[in-house]
Amino acid sequence: MEIHAYEKLWLALALVLIVGFIGTITYGAAGAGIDMIDDKGGTVDPATLDQHPKFGDPGIERTGENSYDVYVVARQFVFEPGTTQPLRVPAGSTVTFHVTAADVIHGFEVVGTNANTMAIPGQVSEFTVEFGEPGEYGLLCNEYCGSGHHVMEGQIVVME
């Protein structure tokens, strides 16, 4: 049996698409210069968040040559840090985010990447992101959290 040349061509194109889709899911944010590495958690008392050694004054902390810890508190309707001032990280760094919420459930999404988690009171979402090239990313809350949900956003600046 002979396969028509056009049929072979479409068969090949279909295979490329399938591999491409799988690649997109597996390495979704590679194009944006961000790779997600792992995902794990912990707990924290939301009632005493303000006295917590890390979440009491959330921000960025250097942990190695190119590695950083970033502590983020989501609350109605801001990310601390991220909303009132951009969260700044150096290009080429590996950043482990620790995200929790002070009041209700929020979302924490780095727009255009697969860095995305729920921010739950009492729980710490932990995930590591590699920031490649300099650039700017939006942050947004993707869990309905009240009247200001639609304006709950922020910014990450990946610095040169």
Binding site for ligand CUA (CB under 6 A): 74, 77, 106, 141, 143-145, 149, 152
How would you classify the pairing of strands 87-90 and 153-159? parallel
Instruction: Give the shortest CB-144-to-ligand CUA separation in angstroms.
Output: 6
Residues 6+ apart with CB under 8 A from 5: none
Nearer to ligand CUA, 89 or 152 (CB): 152
Q: Which is nearer to ligand CUA, 33 or 58 (CB)?
A: 58
Tell me how far apart the alpha carbons of residues 34 and 47 are, in angstroms, rounded to a whole number.
33
Smallest distance from ligand CUA to CB 81, Å: 15
- 77 or 97, CB closer to ligand CUA? 77
The whole-angstrom separation of Cα 83 and Cα 58 is 12
Which lies closer to ligand CUA via its Cβ, residue 27 or residue 144? 144
Overall size of the chain counted in residues: 160
The minimum distance between CB 52 and ligand CUA, in angstroms, equals 20
What are 111's two structure tokens? Answer: 């727009």
Q: How far is the CB of 98 from ligand CUA (least distance, A)?
A: 17
Half-sphere exposure of 104 (CA within 13 A, CB side): 12
